[in-house]
């Protein structure tokens, strides 16, 4: 080796940065391909419906179109073009050609192309197969918006739908904000927006246990932290568990501490496996006051406290907290997926209290 030749080794960080660039490029390429197929399937659906309308006996002619087209496309392009799949493409066009969505919430995708109707698509074909089976158009819009904003995988979309996220959020708000859910998705603008009732924690596997302690509940949450963060919603970052502070020579432990970037405040969780007592609420008030006076920065917003309990008495909660309370909330948690039908019925009753006589789908 020439003695003048430089001897060096590349920085691992430098090489990792280059690798990440390539990985991101490949992901983007895959996304572009997936979106191209979504637009292609939409166009195929349009062509099929237009061709069907040319036939006199449309039902019989439609079946023949699907059969012959499937045979031709399979020979020319391989698998994936069965009559059933072509029927799904036809349904995709039938649903989405009449289904506009406010795209202002997708500013990060403003440069994406649109189909002839002006409709833009943002998700994979698998996502749309799930979404187009949701009959309630407002609910369908909500899950599409949330899937895009939060980069939900198909499994995450299914989990949020099966846990009735739309109904749970709608039950905690008023009629006007229910309508906004279908236009903007979940907006976290004030402390109450960060609270669900109930929280659904079926992923913890606690329903399989005959009994469990509060420490077991906490440990399961930490073991499934990514899924718990998904259930909490947008903007949450984990700070710590059993976070200790000392006040008047006495030690206290906050079960779980998070920070919400959108609300710019700490969010404290106290876990209770039994019925919530007024003493529990008083203890949380002390935790919140301590964080407001000793921990948060001057430019941060007031701390939120959430008591996560198996059972609660709403009357006790209301009488313990001040009427203008905007910092402390009590929410139940469920260890199994709730009945979507039961929550839909509750939502109808909730909205009818504000708008007597109107159907949920009309609001």
List of domains in the chain: 12-99 (no CATH), 199-337 (3.40.1350.10)
Q: How far apart are the C-alpha atoms of 37 and 34, rounded to whole Å?
A: 5
Beta partners for 260?
236, 265
pTM: 0.76
pLDDT tens, 136-160?
Answer: 999 999 999 999 988 899 999 999 9
Does residue 190 register a pLDDT over 50? Answer: yes
- What tokens does 165 get? 């996220």
Q: How far apart are the C-alpha atoms of 226 and 59, rounded to whole Å?
A: 48
Percentage of residues of the chain with pLDDT beyond 90:
46
Does residue 126 register a pLDDT over 70? Answer: yes
Q: Which of 45-59, 98-112, 308-322 has the lowest mean pLDDT?
A: 98-112
Q: Judge if the upstream peptide bond of residue 80 is cis by omega within 30 degrees of 0.
A: no
Does residue 308 register a pLDDT over 90? Answer: yes
Q: How far apart are the C-alpha atoms of 348 and 146, rounded to whole Å?
A: 22
- What tokens does 319 get? 């009488």
pLDDT tens, 203-236?
Answer: 999 887 778 999 999 999 999 999 999 999 989 9
Q: Judge if the upstream peptide bond of residue 198 is cis by omega within 30 degrees of 0.
A: yes
Q: How far apart are the C-alpha atoms of 94 and 46, rounded to whole Å?
A: 8
Work out the end-to-end distance of the chain between its first and last CA atoms, rounded to an integer number of angstroms. 78
Rounded to a whole number of angstroms, the CA Rg of the chain reads 26
Count Cα atoms within 13 angstroms, Cβ side, for 46. 12
pLDDT of residue 89: 93
Please name which of 315, 225, 295, 220 lies closest in space to residue 254, comparing C-alpha atoms: 295
């Amino acid at each position: 080796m020439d003695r003048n030749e430089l001897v060096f080794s590349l920085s691992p960080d430098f090489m990792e940065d280059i690798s990440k660039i390539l990985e991101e490029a490949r992901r983007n390429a895959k996304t572009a391909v997936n979106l191209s197929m979504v637009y292609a399937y939409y166009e195929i659906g349009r062509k099929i419906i237009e061709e069907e309308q040319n036939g006199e006996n449309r039902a019989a002619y439609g079946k023949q179109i699907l059969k012959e087209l499937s045979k031709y496309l399979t020979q020319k392009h391989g698998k994936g073009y069965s009559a059933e799949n072509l029927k799904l493409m036809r349904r995709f066009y039938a649903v989405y050609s009449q289904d506009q969505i406010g795209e202002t919430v997708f500013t990060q995708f403003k440069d994406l192309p649109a189909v002839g109707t002006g409709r833009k698509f943002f998700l994979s074909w698998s996502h749309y197969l799930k979404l187009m089976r949701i009959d309630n158009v407002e609910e369908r819009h909500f899950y599409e918006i949330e899937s895009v904003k939060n980069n939900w995988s198909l499994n995450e979309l299914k989990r949020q739908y099966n846990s009735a996220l739309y109904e749970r959020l709608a039950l905690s708000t008023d009629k006007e904000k229910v309508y906004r859910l279908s236009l903007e998705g979940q907006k976290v603008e004030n402390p109450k927006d960060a609270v669900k009732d109930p929280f659904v924690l079926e992923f913890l596997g606690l329903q399989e246990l005959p009994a469990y302690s509060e420490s077991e509940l906490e440990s399961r949450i930490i073991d499934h932290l990514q899924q718990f963060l998904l259930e909490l919603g947008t903007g949450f970052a984990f700070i710590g568990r059993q976070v200790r502070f000392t006040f008047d020579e006495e030690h206290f432990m906050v079960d779980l501490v998070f920070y919400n970037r959108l609300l710019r405040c700490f969010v404290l969780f106290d876990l209770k496996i039994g019925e919530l007592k007024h003493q529990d609420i008083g203890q949380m008030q002390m935790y919140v006051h301590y964080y407001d006076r000793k921990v948060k920065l001057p430019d941060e917003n007031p701390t939120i406290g959430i008591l996560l309990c198996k059972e609660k008495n709403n009357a006790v909660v209301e009488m313990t907290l001040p009427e203008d309370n905007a910092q402390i909330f009590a929410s139940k948690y469920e260890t199994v997926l709730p009945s979507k039908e039961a929550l839909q019925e509750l939502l109808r009753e909730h909205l009818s209290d504000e708008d007597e006589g109107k159907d949920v789908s009309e609001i």
